[in-house]
Chain A
């Protein structure tokens, strides 16, 4: 039996409204298939499934708003036979609504009970999550985990506690219209979501900031030459070079790529670069381009164009929303020279680029007008120090002096030195 849960779609989303199912009971599903559309404050997101199997039971109906981690459907593993329906435990939403908030005493009693070993194994609980659960009077073994291998994280506990508490009636049973939010509603919701994520970032993450002016003569000349004879549909933008360069520079400083969770830094082997995309009418999203290091510049250009288009149309996939390991923002489009970003939790770094502008630059003892770009790093001091951050920016500068290396580097995913998950 596989439980298909509402995945986290980013730090600023803790609930979503199911808009529609793309599958019905009895359908076979494969890894990466879009099985449902969920409305978040930012977009209607195509939610993918990462298991192979057959759809058993759909537990949440279109129009229902549920917290992250809620079991949306049960699936049968390949070869598995359907269990009698009576065996199915009630879904968390129903439990959250019907059960009164547990008194501290009863919570303590719950913890005193020996846990079923098999159940515990299915839902590993991180130590910090277990501590927090005790404080909040939540039974961690009844919480749906969204961490690695379905583990219950600190955030899951907090979501569960909120679902039990005052927010429960709103989050769990609000019978909303199954139609997508109106543009105005969406904008309001997005503002709120951004406010929540950025407030959390500034509250929890001790940011440090560095900047470096990078000469771009070699990179822009190389790009110009590359694009010169190509039809417009095959040309690439400087933003793609910068994205790739960030990814290559991270190989030297893997402590800038990954997540800070449960009191420690968890590096990521692959670089999934969140690309900040501003939306017409306000707000922004930063969905991921996966495995940037393994992709050619041409492919990255295609994916970036596609991502911008879909982000603006409000049609993103759950995997793009949930797992960026670092964010890159290009705020130079309309002319600012530098941007010092706010890190998107649980990420630990944000790289910013301003406009590529012509400035006086001293080269071989002479002042010349050269194209330059201001690259900045906002990083989490819990995961790295300024010295390491400086090494990253220096590496970034050096890589951009060798633009051909950006075209040549298409390493297999997960080859970043020293990075393990």
Chain B
């Protein structure tokens, strides 16, 4: 994993922990649906996306929500947007 991507993962996890403080990075499987591993309701999930939007300045249209399921999805998405 590149250093840039590693930093991005760390930043995403930090934002996730602001919503779900109990999250442990070691136990998260990046390819599995995030909301199955972390107990996030729709308000938590929206707040998580809002925090990504604020932290990285990316616009996340609602149509893209369906593609954001796993931690890997989220990081890939951000990486593509931040290009």
Interface residues of A (CB under 8 A from B): 224, 227-228, 231-233, 235, 237-239, 278, 280-281, 304-305, 308-309, 330, 333-334
Determine if B22 and A280 form an interchain contact, defined as CB atoms under 8 angstroms apart: yes
* Residues of chain A lying within 8 A (CB to CB) of residue B62: 224, 227-228, 232, 235
The answer to whether A333 touches B42 (Cβ under 8 A) is yes
- Do A334 and B35 touch across chains, with their CB atoms under 8 A apart? yes
- Nearest CB on B from A276, distance (A): 11
Residues on the A chain within 8 Å of B42, using CB: 237-239, 333
A233 engages B35 (CB within 8 Å): no
Contact B35 A232 (CB under 8 A): no
Contact (Cβ within 8 A) A334 B39: yes
Are A239 and B43 touching (Cβ within 8 A)? yes
B67 at the interface (CB under 8 A from A): no
Alpha-carbon separation in the docked complex, A239 to B41 (Å): 11
**Do A228 and B61 touch (CB < 8 A)?**
yes
Q: Which residues of B contact A237 (CB under 8 A)?
A: 42-43, 46
Residues of B within 8 A of A308 (CB): 43
Whether A305 contacts B59 in the complex (CB less than 8 A), given A233-B50, A280-B20, comes out as no
* B 27-55 to A, binary, CB cutoff 8 A, 1 in contact else 0: 00000000100010111001101100100
* Known pairs A228-B61, A228-B63, A305-B43 / 7 extra A-B pairs, C-beta < 8 Å: A232-B49, A233-B53, A235-B46, A238-B42, A280-B20, A309-B47, A334-B35
Task: Report B-chain residues with C-beta under 8 Å of the C-beta of A280.
Answer: 20-22, 39
| Complex Cα gap A411–B59 (Å) | 34
Q: Tell me whether A333 and B41 are in contact (CB under 8 A).
A: yes
Can you report 17 A-B residue pairs in the complex whose CB atoms are below 8 A from each other? A227-B62, A228-B61, A231-B53, A231-B59, A232-B59, A232-B62, A235-B46, A239-B42, A280-B21, A281-B22, A304-B43, A305-B43, A305-B46, A330-B41, A333-B41, A334-B35, A334-B41
**Residue on B with the closest CB to A230?**
B62
B60 at the binding interface (Cβ < 8 Å): yes
State A235–B59 Cα separation when bound (angstroms).
13
Decide yes or no: A232 and B47 within 8 Å by CB, A237-B42, A278-B41, A334-B39 being known contacts: no
